[in-house]
Amino acid sequence: MNARAFFLIAAVAGVGILHTIVPDHWVPITLIARQRGWSKRETGEAAFKAGVGHVLSTLVISIAVWIAGVAFADKFGHVVDTAASLALIGFGGWIAVSALREMRGSGGQRHTHGHALGHSHDFSHLGGTPGPDGIHGPELQEIETGHGALKLSIFESGQPPHFRLTGTTADSIDVETLRDNSARQIFTMVKRKDYWESVDEIPEPHGFTVEITVEHGGHAHKYPAEFIEHAHDHHGHDHGEEPENDPLYAPLRGGEVVLVRHAHIHRHGNGPAHQHFHDHDAQN
């Protein structure tokens, strides 16, 4: 007898002994013996018969289950293997499809193609005009979504600067700006006839990154873009605010109306760029 067989027999014997000392095995026989007044011999015979019957019935049931299992495995084992394989393939395909849909619905739509058109100020009194489509401003960001291109611009021709967006059908759209100083602002977009437009005016400067949130059918998709504020090389214009910290600024003489305030930006040598303001009336 090798060690494996010895340990198997010892384990079976141990389980059998522990099984027999469980109260529900010997208490019923004890109660019946007391009730009927059995002697020790009669009680022992009853316990022996019950134990042998219990062991034999357990063996018979176990052998029957084993034979049934062997027969089932021989006849239907290949069916079980095939069903298990198909189930694994089905679960794997479902996981792959779900992951692909999630990638397309969120991460797969986050690729952008920014057209570096720069930021352009457009004032109606200087003859500025909107873009070729009449909707967007001259600084246009095109964001590829996989279902077409979103077009976002800052429109300020004849009005304060607002975001305008085209290229999508949505339930709601928000545009969030993030500036270099970590300041954030959310602009709620409203649907116009052919485009979406921000409710609030965009404060200067117009250099920031944006995140467009498009909600449609209970799903939200986010797209990034960036607007860059470019310094004007030769001149700029404001809307009548008083220049600050400009020692060379000289307002027009009393009674003359300022139509345009001209800002001249330049630098001396390698020093920082700075600007000076000059007012112009109808004659100058």
Residue 64 lies in a domain: yes
211 and 241 fall within a common domain: no
Residue 9 lies in a domain: no
Which band of pLDDT confidence, cut at 50, 70 and 90, is reported for residue 182?
A: very high
**Does residue 136 sit in the same domain as residue 211?**
yes
Euclidean distance between CA atoms 39 and 26, whole angstroms: 16
**70 inside domain:** yes
CA distance 48 to 67: 28
Which of 104, 128, 145 finishes a domain? 104
Q: Is 13 among the domain residues? A: no
Distance, C-alpha 152 to centroid of its chain: 22
Domain span at 255: 235-280
Is there a single domain that holds both residue 37 and residue 99?
A: yes
Taking residues 127-150, report their average pLDDT. Answer: 75
Please tell me whether residues 250 and 218 are part of one structural domain: no
pLDDT in tens, 230-268: 654 444 444 444 455 555 455 545 444 444 455 555 444
- Within 10 Å of residue 211's Cβ, how many Cβ atoms? 16
Where residue 184 falls among pLDDT bands split at 50, 70, 90? Answer: very high
Torsion of CA 100, 105, 111, 113, to 10 degrees: 130
Q: Report the C-alpha gap between 100 and 223 in whole angstroms.
A: 18
What integer pLDDT is reported at residue 212 of this predicted model? 93
pLDDT value of residue 125: 37
Question: Six-digit token pair at 3?
Answer: 């060690």
221 and 120 share one domain: yes
Q: What is the mean pLDDT of residues 52-72?
A: 87
187 and 135 belong to one structural domain: yes
158 plus 178 within the same structural domain: yes
- Cα separation, 260 vs 237, whole angstroms: 7
Q: Report whether pLDDT(95) > 50.
A: yes
Domain boundary among 184, 204, 227: 227
What average pLDDT does this structure show over 205-233?
84
Whether residues 55 and 120 share a domain: the answer is: no
At residue 126 the predicted structure's pLDDT band, cuts being 50, 70 and 90, is: very low
Residue 255 lies in a domain: yes
Q: Are 74 and 160 in the same domain?
A: no
Same domain, 193 and 264: no
The pLDDT of residue 265 is 55
Same domain assignment for residues 64 and 170: no
Domain end marker among 104, 136, 162? 104
Domain-embedded: residue 16: no
Indicate the number of domains in the chain.
Answer: 3
Structural tokens at position 65: 């289950």
Q: What is the pLDDT of residue 257?
A: 45
With respect to residue 239, please indicate whether it lies within any of the assigned structural domains.
yes
Check: pTM over 0.85? Answer yes or no.
no
User: 244 and 219 in one domain?
Assistant: no
3, part of any domain: no
Between these two residues, 270 and 79, which has the higher pLDDT value? 79
